[in-house]
């Protein structure tokens, strides 16, 4: 495979650090990693600008409104201006809150988001660490997000926050299981947890075709994992005001939002890589570079998430639990069984 645009830049950077500035091998590696981390953070933030704008425009479109249209072209600069406004707000910490936990909770969620991005490729070879257990790492890091949400809900010393935090834990733990099971089918077919291997295995056929059920299960479970409607019970503004971040204000509140949108992009990317062929071009349209295809697929997934959110009312918590445990988990287990039998039969025939 030929090197992509990003790899060329990375190589040039490393060469310049080692030969131009006389860095040792390790120092050059560390510096390159630091720069790449910065790029990831920037990528999340840049996505955020587009995402918030898209979310507002889509919801306005669904609801027969215009949406933001004053700042910048079609209101595109609304979000950066909002962030500037939020930065000027007072940072209120409730009097009886657990101050340390309260302060670090939102940052903790943001850290897990960035850590998860370490193994997510944005194109062929455009990856910070191409681990051979990449997918496993992603899921493990993703499940620690629950802790920070609980921290936020628990430390605020607000009853609404507490109920919101409790709901989050119940919901996220329940929906993590079908999410992992749904990805297992793909892993069985590929035989590897490395994300670049998964993409390479989809040269001829995207896994959404043989694993359609898994894709649907994954989609539903990730809606719950990212706390978006119709599964946004943790926020539940109708009964819980804002759930676990009721007491947050200013930039701490903004960090919650940034982390949530970062998670949304992360799960959409994983969906594109696992089911939609990653950076493989469909219909042989290879003149468009791989990372453009990947971005298009990511944004298609995000559009699906937004479409669902702005169409459906919120589901009730006991219905949510029933749906997760009694429907999604059996379906995803059945999918694993069928996939296993399929692979066995396939090997038997091929020999």
Partner 1 sequence: MLKTQELTLNLGPHHPSTHGVFRCVLNLEGEYIQKAVNHLGYLHRGIEKLAESRTYTQFIPYNGRLDYVAGMLNEWTYVHAVEKLMGITEEIPERAQYIRVILGELQRLASHAIYIASMALDVAGATAWFYGFRDRDEILDLLEMVSGQRLMPNYMRIGGVAADLPEGFIEKCQALIDEFPNRIAEQEGILIGNEIFQARVKNVGPISKEMALDYGLTGPNLRASGVDTDLRRDEPYGIYDRFDFKVPVGEKGDTFDRVLVRIEEMKESVKIVKKALRDIPEGPVMAKVPKVIKPPVGEVYSRIENAKGHLGFHIVSDGSTKPYRLRIYSPCFVNIGIFPEMAKGIHLMDAVVALASLDIVLGEIDR
Degrees to nearest 5, angle at CA 88 with 87 and 90: 100
> 238-277: which residues touch partner 1 (CB under 8 A)?
238-239, 241
Cβ contact 50:74 at 8 Å: no
229 contact partners, CB below 8 Å, separation of at least 6: 223, 308, 309, 310, 312, 314
325 binds partner 1 (CB under 8 A): no
Cβ contact 312:223 at 8 Å: no
Nearer to partner 1, 7 or 59 (CB): 59
Tell me which of 176, 232, 247, 260 binds partner 1, using CB under 8 A.
232
Nearer to partner 1, 242 or 271 (CB): 242
Tell me which of 236, 250, 289, 342 binds partner 1, using CB under 8 A.
236
63 binds partner 1 (CB under 8 A): yes
Burial class (CB in 10 A: 0-12, 13-18, 19+), 104: middle
The least CB distance from residue 313 to partner 1, in Å, is: 4
Q: How many other CB atoms are found less than 10 A from the CB of residue 140?
A: 12
96 binds partner 1 (CB under 8 A): no
Cβ contact 88:251 at 8 Å: no
Nearer to partner 1, 153 or 262 (CB): 153
The residue behind tokens 């993590």 is 176
Tell me which of 66, 87, 311, 327 binds partner 1, using CB under 8 A.
311
Tell me which of 5, 16, 62, 303 binds partner 1, using CB under 8 A.
62
Nearer to partner 1, 160 or 253 (CB): 160
Tell me which of 310, 325, 336, 338 binds partner 1, using CB under 8 A.
310
Nearer to partner 1, 5 or 312 (CB): 312
The least CB distance from residue 278 to partner 1, in Å, is: 33
Tell me which of 314, 331, 336, 342 binds partner 1, using CB under 8 A.
314
The residue behind tokens 């077919």 is 189
**Nearest alpha carbon to residue 185 among 210, 203, 161:** 210
Tell me which of 95, 318, 350, 351 binds partner 1, using CB under 8 A.
318
DSSP class of residue 158 equals -
# residues near partner 1 by CB under 8 A: 27
Rounded Cα distance, 230 and 224, in Å: 8
Q: Kindly report the backbone phi and psi dihedral angles of residue 232, in degrees, each rounded to the nearest multiple of 5, phi listed first.
A: -85, 50
> 122-181: which residues touch partner 1 (CB under 8 A)?
159-160, 163
Strand segments, DSSP code E, in the chain are none
Q: Which residues bind partner 1 (CB under 8 A)?
A: 59, 62-65, 159-160, 163, 229-230, 232-233, 236-239, 241, 310-319
């Amino acid at each position: 495979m030929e090197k992509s645009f990003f790899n060329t830049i990375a190589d040039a950077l490393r060469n310049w650090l080692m030969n131009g500035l006389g860095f040792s091998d390790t120092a050059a590696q560390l510096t390159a990693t630091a720069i790449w981390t910065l790029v990831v953070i920037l990528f999340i933030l840049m996505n955020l600008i587009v995402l918030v704008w898209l979310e507002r425009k889509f919801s306005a479109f669904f609801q027969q409104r215009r949406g933001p249209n004053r700042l910048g072209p079609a209101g595109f600069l609304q979000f950066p201006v909002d962030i500037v406004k939020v930065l000027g707000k007072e940072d209120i910490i409730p009097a009886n809150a657990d101050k340390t936990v309260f302060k670090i909770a939102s940052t903790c969620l943001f850290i897990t988001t960035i850590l998860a991005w370490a193994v997510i490729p944005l194109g062929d070879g455009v990856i910070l660490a191409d681990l051979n257990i990449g997918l496993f790492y992603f899921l493990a890091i993703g499940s620690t997000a629950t802790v920070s949400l609980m921290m936020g809900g628990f430390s605020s010393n607000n009853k609404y926050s507490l109920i919101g935090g409790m709901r989050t834990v119940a919901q996220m733990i329940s929906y993590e299981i079908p999410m992992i099971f749904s990805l297992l089918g793909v892993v069985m077919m590929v035989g590897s947890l490395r994300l670049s291997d998964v993409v390479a295995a989809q040269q001829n056929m995207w896994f959404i075709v043989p694993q359609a059920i898994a894709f649907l299960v994954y989609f539903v479970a990730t809606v719950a994992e990212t706390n978006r409607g119709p599964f946004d019970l943790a926020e539940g503004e109708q009964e819980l005001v804002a759930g676990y971040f009721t007491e947050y204000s200013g930039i701490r509140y903004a960090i919650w939002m940034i982390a949530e949108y970062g998670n949304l992009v992360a799960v959409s990317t994983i969906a594109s890589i696992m089911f939609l062929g990653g950076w493989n071009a469909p219909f042989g349209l290879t003149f468009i570079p791989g990372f453009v295809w990947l971005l298009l697929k990511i944004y298609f997934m995000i559009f699906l998430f937004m479409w669902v959110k702005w169409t459906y009312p919120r589901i009730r918590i006991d219905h949510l639990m029933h749906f997760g445990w009694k429907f999604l988990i059996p379906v995803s287990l059945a999918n694993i069984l069928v996939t296993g039998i399929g692979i066995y039969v396939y090997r038997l025939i091929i020999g």
